[in-house]
Amino acid sequence: MVIECKHVWDHISGYLDGTLDPEVLAVVQKHLEHCELCSAILDSTRNILILTADERVFELPLGYSERLHARLEAEMQSIVPKKPDGG
Amino acid sequence: MTDVLAGRDEAQMIASILAGNSQVFHELIRPYERSVYVMALSLLQNEADAEDTAQEAFLKAFRSLASFRAEAKFSTWLISITLNEARSRLRRKNTVKMESLDEPQDEQGHISPALLRDWREIPSEAVERQEVRGLLQQAIAGLPPIYREIFLLRDVEELSIDESAKALGITVAAVKVRLHRARLMLQKKLAPQLKQINPKKRRWLPWS
Ligand SMILES: [Zn+2]
């Protein structure tokens, strides 16, 4: 079975997540074997998702953790973490 | 989220907090400080708001700890709380803009990726460069809210598809559609930009 490139693109996300049905996966995989275009799109998408998930993309503000724990310390005193009926 | 949590018994820590040892909460949340902030920052796009929202989210988690259900992961629960805190802050700040978040426009339309003949792998070290970080941050910020949310939950915070669906209150099918669109939008925007950075021309410094 032959599939057009633009139909392969519809399955890129599912392919990366491993959620495609076996029949669809087989067709997509076969297409990828000989299509440079779709392979490059898949590779670039996978690469981009690895980069965007990298922890270093976003920096924490200086002192963030200290301020967070100081605020928790100050406010937790007056909070009882229980259900209203918890006694 | 990271897997450096081996040896931690979070259920035990939570039980201890509920028994009155509230100090344990500091330790419980330490691995998630970054995730919560990044989630808030990506949704709110303002550092001060993000920090305040992160604090509120942790306080809310502490307050409602007794309602945490052990069948969920604590990290997932915390991220859901953060999502809701960020959403309600957005709602307070800008009621008009918020509507686009609840009513996706044109969810059926197809997104075409950026077309490339070849792709030269960009190594993770590239994110050490301010230029690359800037491109990634802008691309994420440029996603419409409903796509940014699902992308953050699934691809940054690494929730499962089911967990993401629960956190957003949408179906698994909707998660898959939105996620697909979010990912292709990022590819479309970033692939041409990242291709330009051409790592081969640069000398790679041993960043620490
Ligand atoms: Zn193709």
CB contact under 8 A, A12 and B183: yes
Task: Choose among A45, A52, A68: nearest Cβ to B140.
Answer: A52
CB contact under 8 A, B47 and A61: yes
Q: Write out pLDDT tens, residues B22-68.
A: 999 999 999 999 999 999 999 999 999 999 999 999 999 999 999 99
Residues B121 and B175 both lie in one domain: yes
Q: Quick check: ipTM above 0.90?
A: no
Identify the sign of the CA torsion A13, A15, A17, A20: positive
Task: Choose among B62, B121, B139: nearest Cβ to A47.
Answer: B121
CB contact under 8 A, B59 and A75: yes
Asked if residue B182 belongs to a domain, the reply is: yes
- Report field, pTM of the whole predicted structure over 0.90: no
CB distance A50 to B124 below 8 Å: yes
Surrounding residues of ion ligand 1, Cβ less than 5 A: A 5, 35, 37-38
Which residue range is the domain that position B177 belongs to? 116-200
Asked if residue B15 belongs to a domain, the reply is: yes
Asked if residue B35 belongs to a domain, the reply is: yes
Residues B81 and B16 both lie in one domain: yes
Q: For A19-23, B68-72, B132-136, B188-192, which range has the lowest pLDDT when averaged over its residues?
A: B68-72
CB-CB neighbors (< 8 A) of B186 in chain A = 45, 48-49, 52
